[in-house]
A and B are shown apart, each in its own frame.
Chain A
Amino acid sequence: MKNIGLSIIGIVICAFSFQACAGDDEAVDTEKPVIVLDSPTEHQAFLPGESIGLEAGFYDNLALGSYKIEIHIGEDGHTHKGMEEFGEWFYTKTGAIEPGLKSFDFLDTIEIPLTINGLPIEEGHYHLGIYLTDAAGNERQAFTEIVVGEDDGH
């Protein structure tokens, strides 16, 4: 009885380990692309009307895909509601990287507007985000905080 039991256990283990080994993960790319942000630096301050020089290196193990640059307000929703004295700045730009590239130097100049829909730009902390995908759809995000206006120190 013992032997029958053990041999059944053995057969089952073999069957299942075959199942497990039959899978082929080698073809799958889960490695995310890499973003190295050189400029702007964390908490760098800019005055309205100035330009942000954006410099970043994009890297991937196989092939880069596309990118999105986004700047949005970083204040968590306090202040100003109902006042409508200032306009929040929102900037977005997307682009595709030439197919097959494993590394790409991204350079861009973003001008900070003085007014948003006729209102003076809301000063304060903004998040500058870079979203980068590779050809397989793996995605990396990198964020830095910039200050529009005078740096208030935190």
Chain B
Amino acid sequence: MLIFAFVPVLLGMNAYSQIQISGKITDERKNPLTGVQVKINDNESFTDSSGYFHFPSLKKGTYVFHLFLDGFNEKVEEVEAHQNQILHFTLSRNILVLEETLISHSHKTTVQNSETLNREFLYSEYSGSLAKSLEKIPGIQAMEIGSGTSKPIIRGLGFNRILVAENGIKQEGQQWGADHGLEINPWNVEEVQILKGSGTLAYGSDAIGGVIALNNNSKPLPNSFSGDWILFGRSMNQALGSSINLRYRKQDFYYKFSAAYTDFADYSIPTDEIIYLTRKIPIYNEKLKNTAGKEHSMSAQLGYVSSGFESVLSWSNFYQKIGFFPGAHGIPALERVQDDGDRRNIGFPYQNVNHFKLSSENTIKFHPNTLQFLFGFQNNHRQEWSLFHTHYGNSQPLPKTDPNLELDFNLHSFDAHVKFQYLFSRKNKVSAGVQSQFQKNSIKGYNFLLPEFNRFNIAAYLTHEWEIHPKWNLDYGIRFDYSAIEIQDFYDEYLYRFLSENGHSEEQAAEFAQRSIELEKSYKNFNFSAGVLYQPGRNLDFNLNVGSSFRMPSAIELASNGIHHGSFRHEKGNPNLNTERGWTADLKISYHPQDWNFELNPYVYYFSNYIFLEPSGVFSPLPHGGQVYGYNQSKALLTGAELKIEKQFWERLDAFLGVAYLYNRQIQSDQSKNYPLPFSPPLVVFGEWNYEIFKQKGFLERLAVSFDVKAAAKQNRIAQNEEVTDGYTIFGAGIESELKWGSFRANLLLTVNNIADRKYWNHISFYRALEIPETGRNIQLILRIPLGNNKLN
């Protein structure tokens, strides 16, 4: 009897002294975090796919919780536990995310000079194409090809000297060319990470000037459906577009879908005449003929999350068709620039490109270590269509199939990457990986520019991230690359016949008719980099990064010979080119007391063999050919600095100032050949003021106005046979509002660029060479309607 009386008491005692503690860990935006290591004394648990952890039997008492997840600030918190409890912890990301109007500071652990932009930033800075939308960041510029497409330039380095990656896989289009842009839907980017300086260790060849890493693999919240619908219009090219993005997650599986469509007309420029090669070309109704275009894209993602394994399968397809101003491919007959009454039609010449991508990212977690497998397949198929024409008199007949297909490049790229991340301790992270790529380019068309080639690359790397002291972080690593390229020859019999008929010797005719030579080359490259982050105080930090970088010579640089129809130059490849090698030093000083943020970022790049086109002084015998330009290598120097100042006044007014200056030149033994490098942006100053008028007034959740000014200096430091470009100042303004009627929400953004309709030239625009000014006044309206059961991030 007594025993019976005691049992419940004992049981009760037991239940009382052993308590359960569970909890949820999220980031600042309430997204659950998976795989967070939760440690109390010797007990350890990891959060599941919904961010939950659980300790089933603990004694009463005071516990110190250690929360740790790679990429987030470590958290240590004391909890008094006297009964069963459900806790909630928030971890903050340890990278600085640049939001639209927010200066935030946290203890940094990122040693590299990188900046992360979220979707909010991209939405409010949208300017027709992705690269153009990033121009607010000092040091980033867009090389525009008309109004609808552009390619990014970092510190005057573009084309194959910077790298764009999506979800860790290098975007492989035709980066070498000046007349086509980035094949990416700007509305489907969730986050952009901009790395200035060498990104060679992580990405290999081409990441010399920097890396633009685009991510759209974030995980939606469990049991959520969200998304947004965007509608936009732009006046200067009568662009109309729409984008839809949907995200759905039940528990472990999630699904994402996005689609976008844009259609734009010939764009307007504030002039009725351009002077090109001493000839006056009329611009009817101030519209640049045949620069209309359209773009559509679609993508889908399937993801799986568990505490031990994560996988994302992504598919996307991007299509774009854009007309070329007839003068872009030769001196236009005047009737071809006449107004045909239709501003939206796309006539010859035009380009179209289709970029297909399939990628798979798989992470196996051995907490806290991870093993990652990445696979990618991309097909970039680009065509240029132009009414059949020949520069070889009667010798080239009309092609039987696709007679107007001038150029056709079909590039297939396969990527595979295995990465192992091992944490010796919370302060020591080692990553090792093997990265490989295979590429195959095939060609068609009645003209020739780029030879067919196969390219293979394999690399191994090792990096160590080490927090020596809370004030000192060190990153360093090494990478070895082996690359091989196999280029096919191309013999132009029509050119041979033409030259023979026009009095050239057989040998000479045959030499020029060999448009590309058969060539096999292989390269080995060893690279290193090291960086240190020093945070002497709360308000001050220094990032210093030094490292080497490299770039494989492209097939054109190695083997092509002939007139480049886009640049109108006879360019001759050089089979003896070595890999372009660069050394970089980059120092970023950030000082951020309270609501201020100053960043000063000087840098130096030194190239031991920068690849450039050297005028030979010898005229080309080919029709439309001036002197022959040969690919050559020389030492080169690139240096400059970026400055950024941000300040918030009265929690309402945000001021932003960005300044970028660079200086570059070749370093040759003959001083008179120390020419500046091509496409160098001039000194640029950008200022912006953003004022929040009010919050929560009737149906208006928020109303803000902005004003900006951009001033560029005259660029008279030009590469040989570039044109000096005058400086300019342009103004812009905008109104941003957030509307709310019951559960319906909408964002409305109205902006005006180049308010004064100023006529100016951009030194790095594709159409600059044709003396075509930049667009005039542009009014842009974006409407965004969030969908689903939670607010978008």
Q: Is the CB of A139 within 8 A of B672?
A: no
Q: Which residue, A13, A70, A138, has most C-beta atoms of chain B within 10 A?
A: A70
Q: Name the CB-closest residue of B to A37.
A: B278
Residue B425, interface by CB 8 Å: no
Q: Which of B255-301 contact A (CB under 8 A)?
A: 277-279
- Cβ contacts under 8 Å, B278 to chain A: 35, 37, 141-144
Q: Is the CB of A90 within 8 A of B502?
A: yes
Q: Which residue, B332, B587, B602, has most C-beta atoms of chain A within 10 A?
A: B602
Q: Is the CB of A76 within 8 A of B389?
A: yes
Residue A39, interface by CB 8 Å: no
Q: What is the interface residue range for chain B against chain A?
A: 35 or more
A87-B394, A92-B621 are contacts. A81–B602 as well, Cβ < 8 Å? Answer: no
CA distance A27 to B674 in the complex (A): 8
User: Which one, A5, A32, A77, A154, contacts B721 given CB within 8 A?
Assistant: A32
Residue A109, interface by CB 8 Å: no
User: Which one, B277, B674, B721, B724, contacts A143 given CB within 8 A?
Assistant: B277
Q: Is the CB of A23 within 8 A of B389?
A: no
Q: How far is the CB of B489 from chain A (nearest CB, A)?
A: 26
Residue A1, interface by CB 8 Å: yes
Q: Is the CB of B626 within 8 A of A125?
A: no
Q: Is the CB of A68 within 8 A of B602?
A: no
Q: Name the CB-closest residue of A to B591.
A: A5
Q: How far is the CB of B412 from chain A (nearest CB, A)?
A: 31
Q: How far is the CB of A87 from chain B (nearest CB, A)?
A: 6
Residue B159, interface by CB 8 Å: no
CA distance A24 to B333 in the complex (A): 43
Q: Is the CB of B626 within 8 A of A68?
A: yes
Q: Is the CB of B393 within 8 A of A90?
A: yes
**What 1/0 flags go to B501-513 for Cβ under 8 Å of A?**
1100000000000
Q: How far is the CB of A30 from chain B (nearest CB, A)?
A: 5
Q: Name the CB-closest residue of B to A67.
A: B619
- Cβ contacts under 8 Å, A144 to chain B: 278-279
A8-B542, A25-B676, A70-B623 are contacts. A76–B333 as well, Cβ < 8 Å? Answer: yes
Q: Which residue, B277, B674, B719, has most C-beta atoms of chain A within 10 A?
A: B277
- Cβ contacts under 8 Å, A73 to chain B: 393
Inter-chain residue pair count (beta carbon < 8 A): 154
CA distance A13 to B598 in the complex (A): 14
Residue A55, interface by CB 8 Å: no
CA distance A76 to B337 in the complex (A): 12
A94-B619, A142-B278, A154-B334 are contacts. A23–B627 as well, Cβ < 8 Å? Answer: no
Q: How far is the CB of B666 from chain A (nearest CB, A)?
A: 9
CA distance A65 to B600 in the complex (A): 45
CA distance A29 to B335 in the complex (A): 38
User: Which one, A20, A28, A87, A88, contacts B663 given CB within 8 A?
Assistant: A20
Q: Is the CB of A25 within 8 A of B604?
A: no
Q: Name the CB-closest residue of B to A72.
A: B623
- Cβ contacts under 8 Å, B335 to chain A: 154
CA distance A30 to B675 in the complex (A): 8
CA distance A32 to B723 in the complex (A): 9
Q: Is the CB of A23 within 8 A of B663?
A: yes
Residue B720, interface by CB 8 Å: yes
Q: Is the CB of A28 within 8 A of B637?
A: no
Q: How far is the CB of B502 from chain A (nearest CB, A)?
A: 6
- Cβ contacts under 8 Å, A16 to chain B: 602, 604, 639-641
Q: Is the CB of A20 within 8 A of B639?
A: yes
CA distance A68 to B570 in the complex (A): 14
Residue B357, interface by CB 8 Å: no
Q: Is the CB of B720 within 8 A of A138?
A: yes
Q: Which of B4-32 contact A (CB under 8 A)?
A: none
Tally of contact residues, A, Cβ under 8 A: 60
Residue B382, interface by CB 8 Å: no
A25-B674, A72-B623, A142-B278 are contacts. A88–B589 as well, Cβ < 8 Å? Answer: no
Q: Is the CB of A141 within 8 A of B626?
A: yes
Q: Is the CB of A28 within 8 A of B672?
A: yes
Q: How far is the CB of B761 from chain A (nearest CB, A)?
A: 17
CA distance A102 to B525 in the complex (A): 47
**What 1/0 flags go to A72-93 for Cβ under 8 Å of B?**
1111111001101001101010
- Cβ contacts under 8 Å, B542 to chain A: 8
Q: How far is the CB of B254 from chain A (nearest CB, A)?
A: 45
Q: Which residue, B390, B624, B626, has most C-beta atoms of chain A within 10 A?
A: B626
- Cβ contacts under 8 Å, B720 to chain A: 30, 136-138
- Cβ contacts under 8 Å, A1 to chain B: 536-537, 540
Q: Name the CB-closest residue of B to A73.
A: B393
**What 1/0 flags go to B424-445 for Cβ under 8 Å of A?**
0000000000000000000000
**What 1/0 flags go to B595-633 for Cβ under 8 Å of A?**
000001010100000000011110101011011000000
Residue A4, interface by CB 8 Å: yes
Residue A12, interface by CB 8 Å: yes
Q: Is the CB of B587 within 8 A of A12?
A: yes
A68-B626, A76-B333 are contacts. A133–B674 as well, Cβ < 8 Å? Answer: no
Residue B387, interface by CB 8 Å: yes
- Cβ contacts under 8 Å, A78 to chain B: 387
Residue B336, interface by CB 8 Å: yes
- Cβ contacts under 8 Å, B386 to chain A: 77
CA distance A9 to B335 in the complex (A): 58
Q: Which of A92-117 contact B (CB under 8 A)?
A: 92, 94, 116-117
Q: Is the CB of B721 within 8 A of A27?
A: no
CA distance A12 to B719 in the complex (A): 28
**What 1/0 flags go to A49-62 for Cβ under 8 Å of B?**
00000000000000
Residue B743, interface by CB 8 Å: no
Q: Is the CB of B277 within 8 A of A141?
A: yes
Q: Name the CB-closest residue of A to B601.
A: A12
A131-B619, A137-B720 are contacts. A13–B602 as well, Cβ < 8 Å? Answer: yes
A5-B591, A28-B672, A66-B617 are contacts. A77–B665 as well, Cβ < 8 Å? Answer: no
Q: How far is the CB of B628 from chain A (nearest CB, A)?
A: 11
Q: How far is the CB of B337 from chain A (nearest CB, A)?
A: 11
A4-B536, A27-B674 are contacts. A75–B333 as well, Cβ < 8 Å? Answer: yes
Q: How far is the CB of B139 from chain A (nearest CB, A)?
A: 14
Q: How far is the CB of B758 from chain A (nearest CB, A)?
A: 26
Q: Is the CB of B619 within 8 A of A68?
A: yes
CA distance A133 to B665 in the complex (A): 22
Q: Is the CB of B627 within 8 A of A137?
A: yes
CA distance A65 to B615 in the complex (A): 12
- Cβ contacts under 8 Å, B249 to chain A: none
A76-B333, A117-B501 are contacts. A81–B397 as well, Cβ < 8 Å? Answer: yes
- Cβ contacts under 8 Å, B391 to chain A: 72
A74-B333, A117-B501, A154-B334 are contacts. A139–B627 as well, Cβ < 8 Å? Answer: yes
User: Which one, A23, A72, A139, A142, contacts B624 given CB within 8 A?
Assistant: A72
Q: Is the CB of B537 within 8 A of A24?
A: no
- Cβ contacts under 8 Å, B498 to chain A: 90
CA distance A28 to B722 in the complex (A): 13
Residue B91, interface by CB 8 Å: no
- Cβ contacts under 8 Å, B626 to chain A: 68, 131, 133, 139, 141
10 interchain pairs, CB-CB under 8 A: A4-B536, A20-B663, A35-B278, A77-B386, A77-B389, A81-B388, A82-B398, A88-B393, A136-B672, A136-B720
Sample of 5 further A-B pairs with CB below 8 A, known A87-B394, A136-B720: A16-B639, A81-B388, A133-B626, A137-B614, A137-B720
Closest 5 pairs (CB-CB, A-B): A77-B389, A137-B615, A88-B393, A16-B602, A68-B619
